[in-house]
């Protein structure tokens, strides 16, 4: 039904768009990166009852200024005309999303210069902030709810916001989301005015996992790391190979774990092919 609704909207828009040409944003004057609110990592003793909580979506950040949809970099998102025509004239901040663990597919779709309707029928614009909106964050949530309802299209949705009673409730919700394939949670201070830049009014919380892999090669360093190890190429017990490039001291880069040794690494997520993401070296296994 969702696809049928979208196709119906496409059909209405096609006569208007015949012959239109999509021009990349970089073909003309460069567009500055839009000022956005960026999250800090949650640390220490935070009073979680003061925050709205939402799932951290594994999508592509996008901002709508009322006329153009742009990436965080400022470059234009070449979405189909029917997709943006349905968006309200007010600014929106959110993520383009296709569902949990579909980031690679989504990224390929939204970065094409010539969008394909059949691809974009799978994409949603999940909004979580109203740039320059009035009032505190609680008030802006209600304003966003009204804008989404007024637009009345299935590809524009408000990210669900909820409250928790304490840190244990937050942990339980985090575990529930991660177990279902989610990435983590975001906490937005309920009484915060609209801000831009990195701020602790917006916090992110993601679980760290650890696993072991065998070193199969040393990747030479470049630049400042010339003459040292730049990364370890490792292989998991399942046969997946990837590189670990962070978490090393210079001393360890000069004397890295030997090929054949087993190391422990930390990671936050995996790709749909099972390859760890956001990997950092933790330690070398010391045999008894």
pLDDT tens string 11-67? 444 433 333 333 333 333 446 778 899 999 888 889 999 999 999 998 999 999 999
pLDDT tens, position by position, 261-275: 999 998 877 887 889
For the chain, give percent helix, strand, coil, nearest 5.
25, 30, 45
Residue pair 69/84 in contact (Cβ under 8 Å)? The answer is yes
**Boundary residue ending a domain (148, 182, 205):** 205
Domain coverage including residue 85: 2-205
Residue pair 137/150 in contact (Cβ under 8 Å)? The answer is no
Q: Would you state the pLDDT for residue 23? A: 35
Residue pair 257/212 in contact (Cβ under 8 Å)? The answer is no
Indicate the pTM of the whole model.
Answer: 0.68
Q: Would the pLDDT of 119 be above 50?
A: yes
Say whether both 100 and 168 belong to one domain.
yes
Count of domains observed in the chain: 2
Q: Would the pLDDT of 76 be above 60?
A: yes
**Boundary residue ending a domain (205, 240, 264):** 205
Question: At 146, is the secondary structure helix, strand, or coil?
Answer: helix
Catalytic residues: 56
CATH number of the CATH domain containing 245? 2.40.50.140
Say whether both 12 and 131 belong to one domain.
yes
255 against 268, higher pLDDT? 255
211: phi > 0 → left, psi -120 to 50 → alpha, else beta; which?
A: beta
Q: What's the mean pLDDT when you consider all of the chain? A: 87
CATH number of the CATH domain containing 32? 3.30.470.30
Find all residues with CB under 8 Å of 63, minimum gap 6, and list them: 34, 36, 69, 70, 72, 91, 92, 93, 94, 131
Say whether both 109 and 166 belong to one domain.
yes
């Amino acid at each position: 039904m969702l696809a049928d609704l979208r196709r119906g909207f496409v059909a209405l828009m096609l006569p208007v768009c015949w012959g239109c040409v999509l021009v990349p944003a970089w073909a003309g004057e460069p567009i500055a990166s839009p000022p956005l609110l960026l999250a800090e990592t949650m640390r220490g003793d935070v009073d979680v009852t003061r925050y709205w909580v939402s799932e951290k979506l594994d999508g592509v950040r996008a901002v709508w200024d009322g006329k153009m949809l742009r990436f965080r970099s400022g470059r234009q998102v070449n979405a189909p005309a029917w997709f943006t025509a349905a968006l309200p004239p007010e600014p929106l901040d959110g993520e383009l999303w296709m569902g949990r663990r579909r980031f690679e597919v989504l990224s390929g779709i939204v970065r094409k210069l010539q969008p394909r309707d059949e691809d974009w029928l799978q994409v949603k614009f999940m909004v979580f902030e109203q740039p320059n909106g009035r009032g505190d964050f609680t008030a802006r949530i209600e304003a966003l709810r009204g804008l989404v309802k007024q637009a009345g299209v299935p590809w524009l949705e408000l990210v669900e916001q909820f409250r928790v009673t304490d840190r244990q409730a937050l942990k339980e919700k985090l575990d529930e989301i991660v177990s279902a394939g989610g990435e983590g949670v975001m906490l937005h201070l309920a009484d915060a005015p609209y801000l831009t830049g990195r701020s602790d009014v917006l916090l992110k919380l993601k679980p760290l996992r650890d696993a072991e892999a065998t070193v199969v090669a040393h990747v030479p360093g470049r630049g400042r790391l010339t003459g040292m190890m730049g990364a370890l190429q490792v292989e998991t017990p399942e046969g997946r190979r990837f590189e670990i490039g962070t978490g090393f001291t210079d001393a360890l880069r000069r004397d890295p774990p030997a090929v054949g040794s087993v190391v422990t690494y930390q990671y936050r997520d995996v790709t749909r092919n099972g390859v760890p993401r956001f990997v950092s070296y933790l330690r070398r296994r010391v045999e008894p």
